Amino acid sequence: MTAEAAGSQTAGRGLLRVRVERRADPLVITAPLVIDAEGASPALPPQLGIAPRRTLVHGLQYELDGVEVDAEDAPDLYFGRDIAPGFFAWLMPIGSGRGRLGLAVDPRLTNRPPVFYLERLIESHPAVAPRMPRATIIRKLAGRIPILGLRRPTYTDGMMVIGDAAGQVKATSGGGIYFSMLAGEIAGQAAARYLGGDAAQARGALADYERRWQAAFGREVRFTTIVRQTLNRLSDRHTNAVIRALASDEGLRRAVEDHGDTQYQSRLFRPALAAAVRAGVRDLRLAPTVLAALGAAMLSLWSDGAPRTQLSRSS
């Protein structure tokens, strides 16, 4: 897919010509404005000067029939450097003995593909393997998720970028549908102003798109980026301690229950931090984990997304 200026003018705005290669004849589209929602690996923005800051985790998911689950409405999450380095694994029940088992890995932290970890999960994980003896794979889904950094700016003359293509994704979970829908609405309103006004209004409409989505959820994207970097820096021992504390410490659990929000996760930061410090004071065994998490967060702010370790070769 390629993009180029088409040369003619409409109310002071140039036209873009997009050429899409297909098996038959190529498709050529000319328009005064393009809203790019190509996904995690867009082709057009770099050609128009929107330089990507791209960190992609690689994911793989199997949809399975005949899975044994504990509860139909409770997904399981699995963490660990040997399970899903740089991310996590999940088992999501979808009813009638079916489930989605998947994971994602950060290629900066491992040279193994996702299928290596997913097959090993099925074959030998003590909590997963016992549920799989009668399971059969219905379908497989693979993809990449952009995390750890926004694309800025997310517009240029004649183009706005939204969704995964713009890095509008929560780095903690890889979720981005809600933010993409918000960005799409904002982009649609900006497009109406861009096409309906004069040249000055057109330029302001595109800049306003970025200002508005940054105000709506930009902080959440940045916050989850720091959290993801922090989690990647914690050892498995400290990660296990955090999970045990969430299960056993009433103050931490109440902070999550009262302030947790899957879309606006930064709302949990202050209550969770206060509860974690109190938990570390009550139980000195948690103090090293609290200090390790705070140190990892400071390093994440300072290093701007550098991986915690160098890629190690596996035999």
CATH of residue 103's domain is 3.30.9.10
Rounded to an integer, the average pLDDT of 162-184 is 93
- Considering the domain boundaries, does residue 313 fall inside one? no
What's residue 205's pLDDT?
A: 93
Same structural domain for residues 92 and 112? yes
Q: What is the pLDDT of residue 62?
A: 97
Both 98 and 134 in one domain: the answer is yes
Q: Which two tokens stand for residue 237?
A: 């021992």
Tell me whether residue 197 is in a domain.
Answer: yes
Strands 27-31, 89-95: parallel, antiparallel or unpaired by DSSP? unpaired
- Considering the domain boundaries, does residue 183 fall inside one? yes
Range of the domain at 92: 56-146
Strands 136-146 and 56-65: antiparallel
139 & 159 share domain: no
Q: Answer yes or no: is 310 within a domain.
A: no
pLDDT at residue 253 greater than cutoff 50: yes
Q: Which amino acid is at 163?
A: G
**Spatial contact of 67 and 138, defined as CB atoms under 8 Å apart:** no
Q: Which residue has the higher pLDDT, 29 or 188?
A: 188
- 103 and 27 in a single domain? The answer is no
Question: Among residues 106, 129, 146, which one ends one of the domains?
Answer: 146
Using DSSP, state whether 256 is helix, strand or coil.
helix
Boundary-marking domain end, from 146, 171, 187 = 146
Judgement on whether residues 43 and 85 belong to the same structural domain of the protein: no
What pLDDT shows up at residue 7? 44
Q: Is the pLDDT assigned to residue 310 strictly greater than 60?
A: no
Please check whether residues 61 and 46 belong to one and the same domain. Answer: no
Q: How far is CA 237 from CA 97, 184, 198, 226, in A?
A: 33, 41, 60, 20
* Domain end point (choices 123, 146, 169): 146
Mean predicted confidence (pLDDT) in 265-293: 84
| pLDDT tens by residue, 50-60 | 876 678 999 99
Take residue 93 and report the two structure tokens written for it.
Answer: 């029940």
Residue 311 domain flag = no
- In a 3-state reduction of DSSP, which class is residue 101? strand
Mean pLDDT of 294-314: 60
Least confident of 76-85, 142-151, 227-236: 142-151
pTM of the model: 0.82
Per the structure, the count of domains in the chain is: 3
Residues 48 and 61 in one domain: no
Determine which helix (DSSP H) or strand (DSSP E) holds 110, and give its type and residue range: none
315 assigned to some structural domain: no
pLDDT (tens digit per residue) in 174-232: 999 999 999 999 999 999 999 987 777 777 899 999 999 999 999 999 899 888 989 99
| 190 falls within a domain | yes
Do 64 and 139 reside in the same domain of the chain?
A: yes
* 135 found inside a domain: yes
Question: What's the residue count for the chain?
Answer: 315
| Cα–Cα distance, 90 to 74 (Å, whole number) | 11
